[in-house]
Amino acid sequence: MDDAIPASAVAPMPNNLEAFWMPFTANRQFKKNPRLFVDAEGMYYKTIEGREVLDGTAGLWCVNCGHKAPRIVKAIQEQAAGLDYSPPFQMGHPRAFDLAARLAAMLPGDLDHVFFTNSGSESVDTALKIALAYHNVTGNGTRTRLIGREKGYHGVGFGGISVGGMVMNRKFFGSLLTGVDHLPHTHNLEHNAYSRGQPEWGAHLADELERIVALHDASTIAAVIVEPFAGSAGVILPPKGYLQRLREICDKHGILLVFDEVITGFGRLGASFATEYFGVLPDIITTAKGLTSGAVPMGAVFVRKHIYDAFMKGPEEAIELFHGYTYSAHPLACAAAHAALDTYQEDGLFERAAAMAPYWEDAIHSLKGEPHVIDLRNLGLVGAIELEPIPGKPVKRAFDVFLNCYEHGAMIRTTGDILALTPPLIIEKTHIDRLIETIRSALRAVD
Ligand SMILES: Cc1ncc(COP(=O)(O)O)c(C=O)c1O
């Protein structure tokens, strides 16, 4: 399956690269030397020049089933020829309800209700709005503050960048939401460099939430949102006991805990969700990406029973939550999601990821001592290689490694001077070897 991309996939270069304003991209640099994919299969992309590129990042942390997963392709094709669209407001279609029930059954505890969105950013803004509205409908309308974390990434909506903690994503966009505070991040090489799996040091950083509560008073705080591990900031893993401590403090003060599982959901850690992996139950979970294995845009927000129930009061004919999207639970997305869940289950991909994790860990840590490497991190099927920045030229070294890997047939991702790896869950040992050796050569080749 890996090498089966037909030669016919090679396509001509577009005449005009100017019109498309590319997201999160150095447009002028890219357009001078574009990197274009025209097809993909299994673990590989095919470039416009006809080269195969090993996918070390599951697209953008989303193609967990691998490319062109047969069940997903079939489901999308069939759905496109069936119900094309059904309004999600005051109307429905059966697969949306089946999908929500199926997802609710996958989630631990009483995370029983599902609100559909089209992206991670929409899931985050939906979750924050539900948290605020929940306190409102339960008579706690003074709880309006939202607490995020430094280095957090929660997409690009105004809610998400307000609780997020990545400076470049915030500084150009005005005053953002008011009433937001941030926990400190947990990145610390002095204490945690080269940890295998979760670091030992840093659980006490969750206690900063007590300081924030003392400053603002619990009666003003609606929710805390964190990624179980910070993905986009460069795979910053939660210290042992940290998430448990956050849960305890939120419980003590009646604050809702939101896990942003847009990356960690659907098998990344070798468990269905991070909540299961870490054994910590939040009140709300945001997801997207792996829900459809990236094949059709879709997101979902899971809420616990008491939250949903709090809205199901008052006259039956009244709309309970004034929120939703034209494409919430789009039929095509529902079809893709059902097929992705079938693939995860029938091919045992979460278990496969868990079984592959020790090999992955050893492979990542085999890079210790290579040029420029100052830290290696791993958990489940996620990994990070942190590099010493070139003095005065931050991000250049990592980007040069990225380019070198791409030229030599492997796609990785960079954030700052960190290389991030999040392969499809179908990855095999031979792919891991190839990915790591390509990175090793690149590290040795760059300045
Ligand atoms: C944790 C987290 N939340 C939200 C998002 C935003 O998702 P999207 O790009 O689908 O809006 C991302 C994307 O990487 C993410 O990693």
Q: What is the DSSP string of 217-277?
A: -GGGEEEEEE-SSB-TTT-BPPPTTHHHHHHHHHHHHT-EEEEE-TTTTTTTTSSSSHHHH
Determine whether the shortest distance from the Cβ of 260 to ligand 1 is under 6 A: yes
CA–centroid distance, 231 to ligand 1, in Å, is: 9
Asked if residue 4 has pLDDT above 70, the reply is no
Determine whether the shortest distance from the Cβ of 231 to ligand 1 is under 6 A: yes
Determine whether the shortest distance from the Cβ of 232 to ligand 1 is under 6 A: yes
In Å, how far from its chain's centre is CA 171?
22
CA–centroid distance, 50 to ligand 1, in Å, is: 30
The tokens for 303 are: 């809420």
Determine whether the shortest distance from the Cβ of 154 to ligand 1 is under 6 A: yes
| CA-based nearest residue to 38, from 46, 29, 30, 49 | 46
Q: What stretches of 18-101 adopt beta strand conformation (E)?
A: 37-41, 44-47, 52-55
Antiparallel, parallel or unpaired: β 145-149 and 256-260? unpaired
Asked if residue 241 has pLDDT above 70, the reply is yes
Mean pLDDT of the chain: 97
Q: Residue 421: beta bridge partners?
A: 383
Query: Which residue in the block uniquely carries the two structure tokens 């009140």?
Result: 283
Domain 7-65+348-445: CATH architecture, name and number where available? Alpha-Beta Complex (3.90)
pLDDT band at 2; cut points 50, 70, 90: very low
Residue with the smallest CA separation from ligand 1 atom 8 is 120
301-335 pLDDT per residue, tens = 999 999 999 999 999 999 999 999 999 999 999 99
Determine whether the shortest distance from the Cβ of 213 to ligand 1 is under 6 A: no
CA–centroid distance, 317 to ligand 1, in Å, is: 34
Determine whether the shortest distance from the Cβ of 124 to ligand 1 is under 6 A: yes
What is d(CA 38, CA 403) in angstroms, rounded to the nearest whole number? 18
For 75-346, the fitting CATH number among 3.40.50.2000, 3.30.1320.10, 3.30.460.80, 3.40.640.10 is: 3.40.640.10
Determine whether the shortest distance from the Cβ of 229 to ligand 1 is under 6 A: no
The tokens for 134 are: 């929940």
Residue with the smallest CA separation from ligand 1 atom 7 is 120
| CA-based nearest residue to 374, from 165, 129, 192 | 192
Determine whether the shortest distance from the Cβ of 263 to ligand 1 is under 6 A: yes
* Rounded average pLDDT over 238-243: 98
pLDDT recorded at residue 7: 52
Determine whether the shortest distance from the Cβ of 225 to ligand 1 is under 6 A: no
Determine whether the shortest distance from the Cβ of 159 to ligand 1 is under 6 A: no
393-429 pLDDT per residue, tens = 999 999 999 999 999 999 999 999 999 999 999 999 9
160-180 pLDDT per residue, tens = 999 999 999 999 999 999 999
Q: Residue 52: beta bridge partners?
A: 46
- Which residues of the chain are in CATH 3.40.640.10 domains? 75-346
Q: What stretches of 298-435 adopt beta strand conformation (E)?
A: 299-303, 373-379, 382-387, 410-411, 413-415, 418-421
CA–centroid distance, 145 to ligand 1, in Å, is: 22
Asked if residue 347 has pLDDT above 80, the reply is yes
CA–centroid distance, 370 to ligand 1, in Å, is: 31
Determine whether the shortest distance from the Cβ of 259 to ligand 1 is under 6 A: no
- Closest ligand 1 atom to residue 61 Cα is 14
pLDDT recorded at residue 12: 87
CA–centroid distance, 120 to ligand 1, in Å, is: 4
* Rounded average pLDDT over 203-231: 98
For the chain, give the percent of residues with pLDDT over 90.
97
* Rounded average pLDDT over 350-358: 98
Determine whether the shortest distance from the Cβ of 287 to ligand 1 is under 6 A: no
Residue with the smallest CA separation from ligand 1 atom 13 is 155
- Closest ligand 1 atom to residue 261 Cα is 1
DSSP letters spanning 80-121: HTS-----SSS---HHHHHHHHHHHHHSSTT--EEEEESSHH
